[in-house]
Chains A and B, each alone.
Chain A
Amino acid sequence: MLTKRIIPCLDVKDGRVVKGVNFVQLKDAGDPVELASFYDEQGADELVFLDISASNEGRKTMVDIVEQTAGKLSIPLTVGGGVSTVDDMHNLLRAGADKVGVNTAAVHHPEIIESGAKVFGSQCIVVAIDARYNEQWKDWEVYTHGGSKASGLKVLDWANQVKELGAGEILLTSMDADGTKDGFDIPLTSRVSNAVSIPVIASGGAGEISHFYDVFQEGLADAALAASVFHYKQFTVEEVKQFLQQNGVEVR
């Protein structure tokens, strides 16, 4: 069977790894190239680099970092953040990324998903969805611009649309759970995973090893992503995998 994947995420700003709590209050947690190799050796199944640089210069730095990192890794690398054109995708893939993540640009111009999938193949295109529960709607809403702008789109509708457009995978971040360390957003993740026939990576809320078990068993996630629990060595990727294996979840 296909194993469940554990994916550390490195938020990179101007060439350095940072991780915010609820998207603000950034802390510095190291060098991306070094950290990436470290996670590869630890048994991570994939890595995600999220570029949160605000400047063009920062973005160019990211391409360099991808190039330095990709050659050293023996696992796949996804790069997202600020990807807004097919050219941006091409630059990152050419530099050595295996997949590219699109978020805000896809909401504004959904055709970028279709074009990207056609040129590079669906398996290269990851659509990142930042979701927050909307009390009025009693449903989840898609946010853009790093979680700062409500889009008016329902998460399930958007997830289905990106699948139809050719996305190969959804990186689903719960803004409600992110930074809380109370566990992944199970209701959100299971709803989306059930609704679409492409893999779903759950993100946001990991605080304990058992949370990973929950998001696979109850949340029906295909992969789980976390950042600070790994960066601050609360536990290791290896420990998560041991726990999962002991509890009957197949891992690599």
Chain B
Amino acid sequence: MIAIVDYRIGNVHSVHKAVQALGYDVIITDDHQQLLNADALILPGVGAYQDVMKFLHETGMDEVIYQYVQSNKPMLGICLGMQLLCTESEEYGMQQGLNIIPGRVTRMQDKPKIPHMGWNKLQFKQNEWVQSLEEGHVYFAHSYHVEVEKEEDVLATVNYHGPITAMVNKGNVFGMQFHPEKSGTTGKDLLRHFLALTEKVIVS
């Protein structure tokens, strides 16, 4: 079972459908036990940073996420979900994040147009996990971007008047700044590749 964390806001329908279309059982839930028992956890990309962090904290879901990460099962943050994985964000004043991947979320600077909106071609870093995948175009819609502390946590970038962090990875935790569920076949392939991690036996 794949679990999508329910923040009670915005569009999680598309992620849900995309996972389902790849042949997986999937639920949108805020139930602690269901989240912990999931084979993979997805933090979707909707809402405002502070609202979602506040919600996760008040419902105790932040602790559930920490506990889940300890299990070494795969987790994926999409768009805002990837930003939540970081240490902090300057969206509407400095906000604490989940601090799973050390880094800051800052407003993009020196771009002709913000939000960074539309399709950009992925450029993968040297990494085994992405080696078999195509560097295709994926869909972005964001005004804040992730600056990780450790270069090794970056899995892919795109060029938008300078590099933008497109994918991050640390252990079994992944982040995608773009929306794989809205990124045509490239997005579908990436999502499939992530979900395939649930079929591996994890030796911790």
Where the two chains meet, the residues of A that have a C-beta atom closer than 8 Å to any C-beta of B are 1-3, 5, 40, 45, 67, 70-76, 90, 93-99, 118-124, 168-169, 197-199, 222-223, 252
Contacts and interface: CB of A to CB of B under 8 A. Distances in A.
9 closest pairs, A vs B, by CB? A71-B17, A123-B141, A96-B13, A252-B137, A252-B119, A123-B115, A3-B119, A76-B182, A199-B117
Interface string B126-157: 00000000000101011100000000000000
B184 A74 contact: yes
Interface of B: 9-11, 13-14, 17-18, 46-48, 51, 80, 92, 112-121, 137, 139, 141-143, 159-160, 179, 181-185, 187-188
Contacts of A70: 11, 13-14, 17
Contacts of B159: 1
A223 B187 CA distance: 21
B119 A5 contact: yes
Contacts of B143: 121-123, 168
A167 to B, nearest CB: 10
A222 B160 CA distance: 13
Nearest to B142: A123
Nearest to A44: B184
Contact of A118 (B17, B46, B48, B116): B48
Contact of A198 (B114, B121, B185): B114
Contacts of B120: 1-3
B115 A74 contact: no
B13 A121 contact: no
